[in-house]
Amino acid sequence: MKIALVLALLLALTFFALQLRAAQDAPQAGAMAPDFTLPDQQGMPRRLSDYRGKWVVVYFYPKDETPGCTKEACAFRDDWQALSALNAQVIGISLDDTQSHAQFATKHRLPFLLLSDASGDVVERYGAMMNLVVMKLAKRHTYLIAPDGKIAQVYRNVDPGSHSREIIEFLRRGQ
């Protein structure tokens, strides 16, 4: 019994140490956003640098069709006009494949891009990987990238229902 408890404790400490290290290695506000190319929900390759000159909301999320992810995506959808008026492009990224993204976007009438990072390279590079031993998911993190390509804001504790409004408020204050 004691050995199992010690092993569980060591496993938990290792997990938290890896999470802390990933957060420390992630790009920070003020740094240039690492460029990437990923396929959208239609399979078209999209580069982050193609949106230079606009604000870009890159939001990582765990999984299509889960309650929190659907709530967050629909909030971005509902605030799409306000974000567009502020010269902002929304890009959602998860480890789901393009077919899953296409179904999710169609079902919920999402007017923005959903990118598939099946390999997890971009999710990892942005410090948003959550490794649950039996599966990997993207954490609910957001990077707000300024028109010059620099990271203006990093959101690590995201409320799916109010996050898009939080970004709109930031953009209104900053413009």
| From 57, 69, 90, 154, active-site residue | 69
- DSSP-assigned letters across all residues of the chain: -HHHHHHHHHHHHHHHHHHHHHHHHS--TTSBPPP-EEE-TTS-EEEGGGGTTSEEEEEE-S-TTSHHHHHHHHHHHHTHHHHHHTTEEEEEEESS-HHHHHHHHHHTT--SEEEE-TT-HHHHHTT-EEE-SS-EEE-S-EEEE-TTSBEEEEESS--TTTHHHHHHHHHHHH-
Annotation says 74 is catalytic: no
Q: Which residues are catalytic?
A: 69
